[in-house]
Amino acid sequence: MLKKLIVMLCLLGFIIQPILCEVESSRYIRLHSTQSSKTKKRPRSVALPIEITIDEQYLNIVCENSMQDVCVYISNKSNGSIIYDEMVSFDRYPLCIDLSSYDKGDYEIEFVLSDEVLVGDFVL
């Protein structure tokens, strides 16, 4: 009986381990609005329109709505230098930014929308 239990646990470990590794490899970046709470237009119940994940060396940005002329900035927080500066349009496809050429450290990503600025921090 004990032998069967050990075999089952080992098999279960081999099945679950790849799933856990896959989940851990994707990190979400939490965005927040830079508007003060008194001037904030977005109710708390309304989700932000942009979702960001980091998978290995890529920053994946998905927008739930079609948006035109969104300025995306990525800056190094240690020295303040802007390392990515693009005006993009979100349609159906996510934006994928290769981070492999950037140094390890703390970074800030900023989205300048027509009526709001969204900011998030991440670590490479």
Query: What's the pLDDT at 23?
Result: 43
Which tens digit of pLDDT belongs to each residue from 21-36? 344 456 777 877 776 5
Query: For residue 48, what pLDDT is reported?
Result: 65
> What's residue 40's pLDDT?
52
pLDDT value of residue 43 = 47
Pairing of strands 50-55, 58-63: antiparallel
Q: What is the pTM for the complete model shown? A: 0.68
Q: For residue 5, give the 3-state DSSP assignment.
A: helix
Tell me the HSE value of 42 on the side-chain side, using a 13 A CA sphere. 15
SS3 107: strand
What domains lie within the chain, and their CATH numbers?
27-123 (2.60.40.3080)
With a cut of 70, say whether residue 80 has pLDDT above it.
yes
pLDDT band, very low/low/confident/very high, at 81 (cuts 50, 70, 90): very high
Q: What percent of the chain has pLDDT over 90?
A: 25
